[in-house]
Amino acid sequence: MNVIHQHGTVNNNSIQSKFAQLSNERDELRHGCATADRELRRETDLVAKLREKQARLAEETRVAHAAVGEVSKKRKMVAEEIYMLKARMEKDHKSVLQVGKQIEDLEVEERNR
């Protein structure tokens, strides 16, 4: 059967062939869109999971930094305490030596009496 157009006659088989081609292209496009939608959902889920992980890691990092800060503060306090104890020990040592010297002097003085 022939279809007549303004530019002349067109073969019906040609129209059916073109229609079949467009139909196949439509189906391929639908399939491609469905595949792209699945990939988009998968990627969106992955991004959401990565954001959650990033937030969790940021919180863990904050907690770790706080812990390091506390350890550093305690370390500094311990170092200061050690310094003060060493100074006090040195002072006590000098006092003991001075008392020992005084005892020696008293013993010498007593012997000489």
CA-based end-to-end distance of the chain: 154
* The pTM of the whole model exceeds 0.85: no
Q: What are phi and psi of 22, to 5 degrees?
A: -65, -35
Q: Higher confidence at residue 1 or residue 55?
A: 55
The pLDDT assigned to 28 comes to 96
The tokens of 41 are what? 């959902």
Torsion of CA 101, 106, 108, 110, to 10 degrees: -170
Q: What residue ranges do the domains of the chain occupy?
A: 2-111
Is the pLDDT at 2 greater than 80? The verdict is no
Q: Indicate the SS3 state at residue 4.
A: strand
Percent of the chain with pLDDT over 70: 90
* Residue 74 clears pLDDT 70, i.e. is over it: yes
pLDDT at 30: 96
For residue 12, what pLDDT band results from cuts at 50, 70 and 90?
confident
- pLDDT computed for residue 90 by the predictor: 97
